[in-house]
Amino acid sequence: MSSGGVTLSEEQIRGTLSSADLLARTSGDALKSKYPEWVDTIGFLSSRDCPVTYLPVTAILLTARSMKDASELDVLDIQKQSSPRGYAASSIGRIVIPFATEQGIDLRSKSSQVLNNQPFTFKKNITPGMTDRKPVQFARFYESARSINELSPPEARDVLALLFHLSRALTKDVRTFQTTEMSWSEALSHFRAWVVFTEANSDNGKVGLVFVASVLELLYGEDAIDMGHNSDPDFSTPGDVQVLDGLNPWLWTEVKQKTITTGDVQTFIEKVRAAGGSRILYCALANFNYRNNLNHEKLLKLAFEASLDLTIVESPAALLDLLLPRCPGQPGALVAGMADAMSRRLVEAGASQDVTESFATLAAQRLGPQ
């Protein structure tokens, strides 16, 4: 071991992950009985109130400890140059996240650069005072990180396998609502109902977020849509919804269910430009009664000067008008797919039970029972 820190090869990392995944598949329930305290911790780190970065970073720390014991590596020293026992945690992250996605494991983030998000950005070490946001959640994460530091490599592999087991995404039905044959005029009647529902319900913007993500899902597929970080202060990627090419965003979408002015869109353009993005869809869903709020000419000029492609829609109906003609599939399949996506994503977004049940009732009335 040199003074420059610990080197972990890609082959070592992949071997460790594969070993933990196989253990998760064969002994997951036994690990739950063996490590009940970690079942509770993983459940907390997976909860909606906990910043989404903490679960994948925990997986990264467990992977590091699985390869080296405490005499060689300190899991809290997340940059290789931070100490003689430091290591490049970001190098593990670049492998862990794609691996988890391939194996159907939901680590709450599809970003292979998860350590670029706060509070870990540019930090050499994980310390008690890294952030003052959500102090209860960070304190629990920090204690789990310290606990990982005290594990032996075999114990860490067990806990990593347990995390994989508990985070394995359940197989989803392709459709929740039955697909039936219908004309385009019949289909448009159903889509108008989803529009009216969205205009009548907000739930702090969650309904609009779900509507936009669901329309994008019809066009690009479920796995290409990353949604749900708009309420997480530690998630630094701009936009409420990203459309992904593999694990990398290519379309950056902002969704607002309140009136928006030119300055709001301008601020988002700057955020996407700073993040290296090139294409923006801005959904100002409550602006349909306030058409003069946005100076489209100015915004398009700003986007052009920043080498960005900018599309703005100012109502749920306008988004459908823009994207629905491009969506592949028969009318009945698209209607059922939209109902299925909205039902699933309302739960994913943490919408209130009243709103979730209200949409389920509406969809069942129009399409039949689930």
Give the start-to-end residue ranges of the domains of the chain.
10-167, 184-367
Backbone φ/ψ region at 45: left (φ over 0), alpha (ψ -120 to 50), beta: alpha
What are the residue ranges of helices labelled H in the chain? 10-34, 36-45, 54-67, 89-102, 135-149, 153-167, 184-200, 206-220, 262-274, 296-305, 316-323, 331-348, 353-367
Instruction: Look up tokens 């702090």; give the residue.
Output: 204
pLDDT averaged over every residue in the chain: 89
Tokens of 72: 């060689």
CA distance 141 to 146: 9
Picking from 215, 240, 236, 238, the residue whose alpha carbon sits closest to that of residue 227 is: 240
Percentage with pLDDT > 90 across the chain: 67
At 119 the three-state DSSP class reads: coil
Q: Residue 16: its pLDDT value, please?
A: 95
DSSP state of 286: T
| Residue with the larger pLDDT of the pair 245 and 125 | 125
Q: Residue 178: its pLDDT value, please?
A: 76
Q: Residue 95: its pLDDT value, please?
A: 93
> What's the full length of the chain, in residues?
370
Question: Residue 363 to residues 16, 119, 191: CA-CA distances in angstroms?
Answer: 45, 41, 11
Q: How sure is the predictor about 172, in pLDDT bands with cuts at 50, 70 and 90?
A: very low
> What digits encode the pLDDT tens for the residues 208-259?
999 999 999 999 998 889 885 544 444 557 888 999 887 778 999 999 999 9
For residues 116-129, average pLDDT: 88
Say whether the peptide bond before residue 154 is cis (omega within 30 degrees of 0).
no
The DSSP line for 128-145 is: TTS--SSHHHHHHHHHHH
Tokens of 145: 């990180």
Q: Residue 249: its pLDDT value, please?
A: 87
Positive/negative CA dihedral, 96, 109, 54, 171 = negative
CA distance 86 to 320: 50
8 Å CB contact between 253 and 290: no
Q: How sure is the predictor about 291, in pLDDT bands with cuts at 50, 70 and 90?
A: confident
Q: Residue 218: its pLDDT value, please?
A: 96
